[in-house]
Structure 1
């Protein structure tokens, strides 16, 4: 049985905030508490692309052109990788159901590609191949089953936006007149498939790093025009900035990031916005280290999870404070409406939130 978000948040509430249980009760509660349960993916590739359809169905996309799909809660994973894709680096995947999905390969020039399947990965159709030498696509997002966007690092001084109106079967580059100028060195991070996200039918947000300031750009017209806002997450280095975003509606959002280099401090690794990304406030108690993925728990106004190489953090107050609840390594995290929450990362790691 799936947990409701309130039950999940309550189960992960620090013991200090609850009455002290007896030792047997503590052991019993620990056994029942929500936790990541690793699933055997059968491979050791790194999965930075993840799309949760339900507690039963999820898609993974990773290195060496690998795409996996489960329809039985992670007990079995079917390799549905596109043929002859071994040289591609998949970093984002957006699935509509168990049969239809769109996957993004990243890289310079023609390494950036988009492919779509309508039969569970049995066959794939390449719907976009980048021909602009300066472009490097990082992330995908879909507003609904037809309308979606992809974003590239700046070309001629502005982030490039790709748009689809037919579910990813065809794409066109949008005019850049409505895109603010990029900072020197500014780019997106293809770390978790969450540097470009959307909420509702028209709103999208784009996360940046590498420049003097870590910014979030917002569009309310499906990518035609954008406004930029500074965040308190540190930047000023190619390894620092905002790595992932999550919006539970068109106003309430979370940003996580930091410095992805192992051993480097990541102060102020999280921020929140109450106004659609116009202003950002640093978390009063941020995650203790770099985080590359974040997701709201479905049907909750205050609970969310953030993940990174050193652990998983939970907030139950809308992103103001975070606390570590797991120390396993994950790159990305995603939850389905039925509270099927999944995480994936290095060495073939994939897990589902269990109780």
Structure 2
């Protein structure tokens, strides 16, 4: 979920964070037509799955999403908007921080239904991190960026205490923030172990997935905008990093790796492309089997730019990728993908109990439902 370097941030923010003027969504599973996965789309166990849209009553663009379980989820987006549900999306509570209307929330990490951390993006003091411990009734600010050269894109946690946030390069290197108290306080890590960034290289604040973790120490960072789309990996919570070409083309401020997902330390998928609607993205996905040391392009990638990706729980080879033009499914660990829906979503997240959620523009949120899939019109 990121905007790119200084010269391209205004364009990226306008694209990624604009609130679309539209009527509020109707509540209930039939709120939006065409958002269910087509009949016959299999999950990891071979059954059928389908998107069930849920009405939020908001027109914000939700690029931040945290799935707690099948019933509970948080979304964060434009206009300083934060919502949460505890009943599977039937009702949503507006828990936006007071006075946050000018902020662009692009990431949210939730520990449960009451504790969550949100990231606002932008240059200088527009980049902030806030935390709630009471379901959003009150918020405290854990970090406000004092450096006008920094622009924070994504955050990720290893556990309930330890987490990181990443900024676009400052003085030629990506800047990493660290917390050891669940987001209450943050400090900038030394950059001696960070490789130098390529000219024009930065992250994308498009889905909250440019920085992801797996296990207690491993973290990966996705980049674009430079000569190549790259993935950086740290095995010591951000102190030292290695870097690899991700096999997703960049070479332009709008192209690169937008989202990552890892299943354990070894198996990862990357998605991205060119976010401009009029530009093709023929190499929109890649896969690694060695923790990101080497990446291979997907043999049959998604047909267009994708910003978010998530492994389906309790399976070893199934994952979903989402973007403005559709949802794609892989059943072979990311080697081949097929489009199963044409609705617009920016990000996707799955909880350990198989509760999977997606969110995007115009207040759009959906749940992944197993069982008999509905028709394309979204009727139950």
Give me the TM-score of the superposition, normalised by structure 1: 0.92
1:12: how far off? 2.0
Secondary structure at 1:295 match in 2: strand
Native 8 Å contact 2:66 2:74 kept in 1: yes
Q: Deviations over 1:279-316 (max 9, x none)?
A: 00000000000000000011111000000000000000
Determine whether 1:88 maps to 2:117. Answer: no
Match of 2:213 in 1: 198
Task: Please give the alpha-carbon distance, in whole angstroms, between the structure 1 residues aligned to 2:315 and 2:237.
Answer: 26
Match of 2:117 in 1: 102
Task: Please give the alpha-carbon distance, in whole angstroms, between the structure 2 residues aligned to 1:42 and 1:153.
Answer: 33
Correspondences of 1:21-32 after superposition (within 5 Å):
none
Residue of 169, 172, 181 corresponding to 1:166:
181
Q: Deviations over 1:48-102 (max 9, x none)?
A: 0000000000000000000000000000000000000000000000000000000
Determine whether 1:335 maps to 2:347. Answer: no
Match of 2:337 in 1: 322
1:44: how far off? 0.5
Secondary structure at 2:122 match in 1: strand
1:33: how far off? 3.6
Native 8 Å contact 1:216 1:228 kept in 2: yes
Match of 1:24 in 2: none
Match of 1:351 in 2: 366
Task: Please give the alpha-carbon distance, in whole angstroms, between the structure 2 residues aligned to 1:89 and 1:109.
Answer: 13
Residue of 45, 64, 74 corresponding to 2:60:
45
Residue of 296, 302, 307 corresponding to 1:292:
307
Q: Deviations over 1:11-50 (max 9, x none)?
A: 5249xxx9xxxxxxxxxxxxx9421111001011100000
Task: Please give the alpha-carbon distance, in whole angstroms, between the structure 1 residues aligned to 2:105 and 2:173.
Answer: 24
- The total of aligned residue pairs comes to 331
1:324: how far off? 0.4
Secondary structure at 1:189 match in 2: coil
Determine whether 1:12 maps to 2:41. Answer: yes
Native 8 Å contact 2:42 2:49 kept in 1: no
Give me the TM-score of the superposition, normalised by structure 2: 0.86
Residue of 237, 243, 260 corresponding to 2:275:
260
Native 8 Å contact 1:39 1:75 kept in 2: yes
Determine whether 1:123 maps to 2:152. Answer: no
Match of 2:7 in 1: none
Native 8 Å contact 1:234 1:267 kept in 2: no
Residue of 118, 130, 139 corresponding to 2:154:
139
Match of 1:78 in 2: 93
Unaligned runs of 5+ in 2: 1-36, 371-380
Determine whether 1:212 maps to 2:227. Answer: yes
1:186: how far off? 0.2
Greater RCO, 1 or 2 (C-alpha within 8 Å, sep 6+): 2
Native 8 Å contact 2:229 2:257 kept in 1: yes
Residue of 303, 320, 326 corresponding to 2:318:
303
Q: Deviations over 1:250-273 (max 9, x none)?
A: 110000000000021001100000
Match of 1:28 in 2: none
Determine whether 1:35 maps to 2:50. Answer: yes
Q: Which runs of 4+ in 1 moved over 4 A?
A: none
User: How big is the alpha-carbon RMSD for the aligned residues of Structure 1 and Structure 2?
Assistant: 1.4
Determine whether 1:226 maps to 2:226. Answer: no
Native 8 Å contact 1:212 1:235 kept in 2: yes
Native 8 Å contact 1:230 1:280 kept in 2: yes
Native 8 Å contact 2:42 2:48 kept in 1: no
Secondary structure at 2:79 match in 1: coil
